[in-house]
C-alpha cells in the first residue's frame, strides 16, 4: 500500500486540520457493548478500550484539528528569538516540564555505579572485531544490580571508532540468551562493525524490569529511602530509569580508548525508541538518535489521537511514566508538551525516525508531523529541518537534514531499509 496524503497545513501554535488523507486505514469499527466488542478493525489494526471509554482510532477524518504548544514560546509568553535564550531558558523549562509531567526526575538517591571488563575476545565476528564483555554494577552488596554490555570494536580501526549503541529486548550478542524473548531484535552487529563503527548493546530489562511490579526491584529500588516501596511523586518512571541506565553505559564506553564517545548513535525500537529520545534530550553526549516505531509518548503526536493513545499508555503501562501521568487520560490536549518538543530537546543533534505502513498503532504519520513540528527549533540553531511538510511516499527516505524520516513498507519492526537509511543518515553527520 502506498500512502500519498493530500497537502495539508501544519504550523506550530495554530490550528492544524488533518483530513482527506488518501490510503489510510479504514474507519474504526463501532464499539459494541459487552464481550462482543471487536479487537481489530477491518484492516487488522488493534482496538483497545480504555477505562475512559476511549477506543483506538484509525480514521484520519476523526483526528480533527488541534493546536501544538509552540516550543519557541517561553512560559511567560515571550518568544524565543535567539540560541542563547533557547539554551539557557526555554530548553531547561521544557526539561523541567518533562520531568514533572511525563517521565519523572532521577532521584537524589540514585545508586553509585562501577563498570568492569570481565572478558575480552580477539577475532570476534569472524575476525572483524575485538569483543569486550562489560558488567555494570549498580549499588553495593547483596542488593547490587548487574547489567551485561557487549562491545564490539573493529579490529583494524586506525583511530577511536564512532559507536552505535543499541537498546535491546533480548540479550546482546555474546551474552547467553534468555529462554524466551519478547521480541526478535534486529541486531546487524557484523554489518555495523564492517562499516567501521563500534557496536555496543544491552538488554533493557536486566537492570530494571518492565511490568506492573517493576518498582519492587532493580535500580529503582536501590534509590528508595527507608520505608519507601515505589518511586515518590515526581520521581522516575521506568522510561526515565532506562534512560539513566543508558547514560551510565555511556559513562563506561567513555573510558574505552578504542571508541569515540563523542560520536555515539543511540538506537531504540518501540518503547525503547521512546527511551532513546529521552536519553538524547537529557544527555548531550548522545550525538544522534534513531527512534524506530516509537509511537505514543515517543515520536508520535499525542494530540492526533491516532492508534495508540494517551489513554492506552495511562491504562496499560502507567509504570513507564511519572505516577501522576494518568491524569491526562482523556485530556491529551491539556498536555503542556507533545512529541515535537521531545524531538526538539535533542537539537541541534540529528534525529532519525521511522514508521511502518502496517504499524498504524504507532502512527507513522504522527511521527512525521512531530519532526515537522520540531523544525523551528532546529532552524533556530542553524540546522536543516526534515525538508517536507507532507508525509513522503513509502520507502522514500528524507535524510538530507538534521531531522530524518523513513516511512517503510512493513510492520512494527526495524527493517533492512531502515538500517540502510540510518547508515546513510549517520554517515552524513559522523564523517
Active-site residue numbers? 270, 412
Q: Which residues face 124 on adjacent strands?
A: 129
CB distance 37 to 49 below 8 Å: yes
The CB density around residue 94, as the number of other CB atoms within 10 Å, is 22
Q: How many helices (H) and strands (E) does the chain have?
A: 11, 11
Q: Which residues face 255 on adjacent strands?
A: none
Q: Which of 151, 126, 123, 152 shows the shortest CA–CA distance to 136?
A: 151
The CB density around residue 120, as the number of other CB atoms within 10 Å, is 11
CB distance 246 to 266 below 8 Å: yes
CB distance 236 to 220 below 8 Å: yes
**CA-to-CA distance for 77 and 7, rounded, in angstroms?**
31
**Which grid cell is 422?**
540510518
Got the DSSP string for 18-55? E---TT-PPPPPPPPSGGG--SB-TTS-B--B-TTS-B
Whether omega for the bond prior to residue 98 falls within 30 degrees of 0, making it cis, is no
> Radius of gyration (Cα) for the chain, nearest Å?
21
What angle in degrees, to the nearest 10, is found between the helix axes of 238-253 and 271-282? 60
State the number of CA atoms in the 13 A half-sphere of 179 facing the CB. Answer: 0
**Which grid cell is 101?**
509531567
Amino acid at each position: 500500500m502506498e500512502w500519498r496524503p493530500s497537502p495539508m497545513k501544519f504550523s506550530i501554535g495554530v490550528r492544524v486540520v488533518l483530513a482527506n488523507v488518501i490510503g489510510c486505514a479504514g474507519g474504526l469499527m463501532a464499539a459494541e457493548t459487552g464481550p462482543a466488542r471487536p479487537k481489530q478493525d477491518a484492516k487488522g489494526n488493534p482496538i483497545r478500550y480504555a477505562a475512559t471509554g476511549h477506543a483506538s482510532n484509525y480514521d484520519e477524518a476523526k483526528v480533527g484539528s488541534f493546536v501544538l504548544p509552540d516550543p519557541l514560546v517561553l512560559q511567560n509568553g515571550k518568544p524565543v528569538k535567539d540560541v542563547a535564550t533557547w539554551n539557557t531558558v526555554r530548553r531547561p523549562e521544557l526539561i523541567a516540564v518533562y520531568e514533572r509531567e511525563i517521565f519523572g526526575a532521577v532521584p537524589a538517591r540514585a545508586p553509585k555505579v562501577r563498570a568492569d571488563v570481565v572478558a575480552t575476545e580477539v577475532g570476534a565476528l569472524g575476525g572483524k572485531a575485538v569483543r569486550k564483555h562489560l558488567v555494570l554494577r549498580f549499588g553495593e552488596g547483596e542488593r547490587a544490580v548487574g547489567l551485561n554490555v557487549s562491545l564490539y570494536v573493529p579490529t583494524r580501526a586506525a583511530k577511536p571508532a564512532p559507536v552505535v549503541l543499541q537498546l535491546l529486548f533480548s540479550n546482546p550478542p555474546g551474552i547467553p540468551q534468555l529462554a524466551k524473548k519478547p521480541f526478535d531484535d534486529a541486531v546487524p552487529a557484523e554489518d555495523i562493525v564492517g562499516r567501521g563503527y563500534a557496536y555496543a548493546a544491552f538488554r533493557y530489562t536486566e537492570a530494571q524490569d518492565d511490568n506492573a511490579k517493576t518498582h519492587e526491584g532493580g535500580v529503582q529500588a536501590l534509590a528508595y529511602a527507608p520505608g519507601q516501596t515505589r518511586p515518590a511523586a515526581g520521581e522516575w518512571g521506568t522510561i526515565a530509569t532506562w534512560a539513566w541506565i543508558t547514560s551510565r553505559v555511556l559513562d563506561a564506553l567513555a573510558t574505552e580508548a578504542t571508541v569515540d564517545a563523542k560520536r555515539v548513535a543511540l538506537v531504540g525500537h518501540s518503547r525503547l525508541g521512546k527511551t532513546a529520545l529521552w536519553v538524547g534530550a537529557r544527555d548531550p553526549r548522545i550525538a544522534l538518535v534513531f527512534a524506530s516505531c516509537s509511537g505514543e509518548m515517543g515520536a508520535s503526536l499525542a494530540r492526533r489521537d491516532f492508534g495508540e493513545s494517551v489513554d492506552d499508555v495511562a491504562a496499560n503501562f502507567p509504570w513507564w511514566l511519572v505516577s501522576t501521568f494518568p491524569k491526562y487520560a482523556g485530556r491529551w490536549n491539556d498536555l503542556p508538551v507533545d512529541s515535537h518538543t521531545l524531538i526538539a530537546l535533542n537539537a541541534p543533534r540529528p534525529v532519525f525516525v521511522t514508521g511502518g505502513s502496517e504499524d498504524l498503532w504507532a502512527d507513522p504519520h504522527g511521527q512525521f508531523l512531530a519532526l515537522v513540528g520540531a523544525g523551528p527549533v532546529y532552524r533556530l540553531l542553524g540546522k536543516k529541518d526534515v525538508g517536507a511538510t507532507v508525509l513522503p511516499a513509502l520507502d522514500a527516505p528524507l535524510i538530507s537534514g538534521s531531522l530524518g524520516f523513513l516511512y517503510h513498507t512493513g510492520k512494527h519492526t526495524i527493517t533492512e531499509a531502515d538500517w540502510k537509511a540510518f547508515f546513510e543518515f549517520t554517515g552524513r553527520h559522523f564523517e
